Every structure is written in structure tokens, then in C-alpha cells.
Amino acid sequence: MPKNYTTVAGDTWDIVSYKTLGNEMYKNAILEVNLASRETVVFPAGVSLTIPDIEPEVSEDLPPWKRGIGIE
């Protein structure tokens, strides 16, 4: 279920992504569900943004125990 985030003065798309999802690489996914704010570069305080549910990407280069794969 998507969440909401209320901006703090000075937030940018990558900062919002890092604060809410733990990684700035998700900024485009957040922007896509908040098209009304797409031209904003630096947010003022109080803008409500929808934060989509994101499945974290797991690198195939990681060993199985770091990818959440159990040994059977």
C-alpha cells in the first residue's frame, strides 16, 4: 500500500527517495506517481507526496545469504 510523505523545505526528489525508501535510485518511481509536482526541483515544506511500494532490487552478484535465499 502506498505511503504519503510530507516534504521538508529543501527536499529534492532524490532526498525524498532516500528518506522514504532508503536509496535515491527510486526517485523516478516517486516522480511517476506525483506528476503534479514533476517540475519541482527543490520542494517547499508541506507538499504531500505519494510514495509507491517498491520491491528492492537484489544483485545477482551477491552470495545467496545476502539475497535472502535459504540453503536447503
pLDDT band, residue 70 (cuts 50/70/90): low
3-state secondary structure of 64: helix
Is residue 32 predicted with pLDDT exceeding 90? Answer: yes
pLDDT, residue 9, reads 98
28 within some domain? yes
Q: Which helix (H) or strand (E) holds 31?
A: helix 27-32
69 within some domain? no
pLDDT, residue 63, reads 81
43 within some domain? yes
Question: Would you list the DSSP string of 7-30?
Answer: --TT--HHHHHHHHHS-GGGHHHH
Give the domain range for residue 25.
3-53
Domain count, the chain: 1
35 within some domain? yes
Q: Considering the chain, what is the average pLDDT of its residues? A: 89
What digits encode the pLDDT tens for the residues 36-53?
999 999 999 999 999 999
